[in-house]
């Protein structure tokens, strides 16, 4: 049997996060960013479990308890981390012979941009601690969870900018990467986006910042409505690529454009990669990043609600996460049913 990469909306055991601490890039703004993590964790624990890594488990647990988080739904593992981008160092779950198997891809700090030696060991450490049930296979490929979108039926959506980056897998060309995705995650076809980017993004255009596969042959994507914005042309070209894709049954995808958030900048006047596409799907709900931009935040929640009828739609203020060039989906990794011990 071929492996299958489940869609994010399939049933989950929980979600993996890594706690921001003094040794991470968040060190200078912990008072701003920890409440964001608390809010994410609090909302997830209403629906499923949270697996949290932290170098000082007791202090993380104390902080969460003082914030009123339901600690019966949180498992804290004392493991050191470079940073908090669990989407990209966490295990990727595939279904093989009707059982989950974990793939531990190599993580090299998004193409050797940042230190990642501790983060690259977290999946193996979690397996050694006994909190992950399935077999864990260490894979000799550099691949981040944020670079792959799956419909659960063999379609993978990705970006050429990321997967063909010279500092990830330079030995492989596009067709060889497609073969690797076929054997490792059961890709029957790979849809490549060659356009689309966000200023301030360190990931080389991870797909989870740009376009997301949703149920019923729907794709939600980040659009730009301002002709004078630097992103307008690239995102318009990406939109045309999406319009040309067809679903597995040959029909066009139903496309839902997300509103363009207000431009955000850091203290050095560098633009930050605000995107509404970086939402997290959990059991019974969708957690959506908001950026203190009332008009566009509300429109984004309405747009994503169209793709997920019947799920609770929850906005989470993620403006502080932009300071380190990521958002809500980037700091989380879903753990499908059967993964947590």
Other C-beta atoms closer than 10 Å to the C-beta of 292 total 11
pLDDT of residue 107: 95
Q: Give the chain's residues under pLDDT 70.
A: none
- The residue with tokens 């060039």 is 325
Could you say which DSSP state residue 56 is in? S
**Cα separations in angstroms, 215 against 101, 103, 236, 247, 305:** 23, 24, 23, 11, 12
Q: Distance between CA atoms of 153 and 181, rounded to whole angstroms?
A: 13
Q: What is the pLDDT of residue 48?
A: 98
Domains of the chain, with CATH numbers? 12-336 (3.75.10.10)
pLDDT score at 180? 97
pLDDT of res. 110: 87
Read off the pLDDT of residues 116-144 as tens digits, 9 standing for 90 and up.
999 999 999 999 999 999 999 999 999 99
Vertex 28, ends 26 and 33: CA angle to 5°? Answer: 50
The answer to whether the CB of 10 falls within 8 A of the CB of 152 is: yes
Query: Which of 148, 254, 224 has its CA nearest to residue 193?
Result: 148
pLDDT number for residue 223? 98
Cite the beta strand spans of the chain per DSSP E: 12-18, 49-54, 74-78, 92-96, 99-106, 136-142, 149-150, 155-159, 189-193, 211-214, 218-222, 254-258, 280-282, 285-290, 312-317, 333-336
């Amino acid at each position: 049997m071929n492996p299958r990469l489940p869609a994010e909306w399939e049933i989950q055991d929980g979600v993996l996060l890594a706690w921001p601490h003094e040794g991470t890039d968040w060190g200078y703004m912990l008072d701003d960013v920890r409440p964001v993590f608390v809010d994410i964790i609090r909302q997830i624990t209403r629906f499923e479990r949270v697996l949290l890594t932290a170098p000082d488990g007791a202090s993380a647990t104390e902080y969460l308890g003082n914030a009123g988080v339901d600690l019966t739904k949180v498992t804290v593992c004392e493991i050191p981390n470079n940073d908090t981008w669990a989407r990209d160092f966490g295990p990727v779950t595939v279904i093989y012979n009707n059982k989950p198997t974990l793939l531990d891809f190599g993580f090299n700090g998004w193409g050797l941009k940042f230190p990642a030696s501790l983060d690259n060991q977290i999946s193996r450490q979690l397996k050694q601690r006994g909190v992950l049930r399935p077999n864990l296979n260490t894979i000799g490929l550099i691949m981040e969870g944020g670079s792959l979108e799956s419909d659960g039926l063999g379609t993978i959506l990705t970006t050429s900018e990321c997967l063909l980056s010279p500092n990830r897998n330079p030995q492989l060309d596009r067709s060889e990467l497609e073969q690797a995705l076929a054997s490792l995650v059961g890709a029957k076809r790979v849809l490549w986006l060659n356009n689309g980017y966000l200023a301030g993004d360190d990931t080389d255009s991870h797909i989870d910042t740009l376009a997301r596969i949703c149920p019923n042959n729907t794709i939600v994507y980040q659009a730009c409505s301002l002709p004078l914005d630097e992103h307008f042309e690239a995102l318009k070209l990406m939109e045309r690529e999406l319009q040309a894709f067809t679903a597995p049954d040959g029909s066009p995808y139903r496309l839902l454009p997300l509103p363009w958030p207000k431009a955000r900048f850091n203290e050095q006047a560098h633009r930050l990669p605000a995107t509404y596409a970086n939402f997290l799907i959990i059991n019974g709900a969708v957690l959506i990043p908001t950026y203190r931009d009332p008009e566009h935040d509300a429109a984004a929640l309405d747009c994503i609600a169209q793709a997920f009828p019947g799920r609770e739609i929850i906005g989470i203020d993620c403006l502080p996460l932009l300071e380190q060039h990521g958002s809500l989906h980037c700091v989380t990794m879903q753990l499908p049913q059967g993964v947590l011990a």
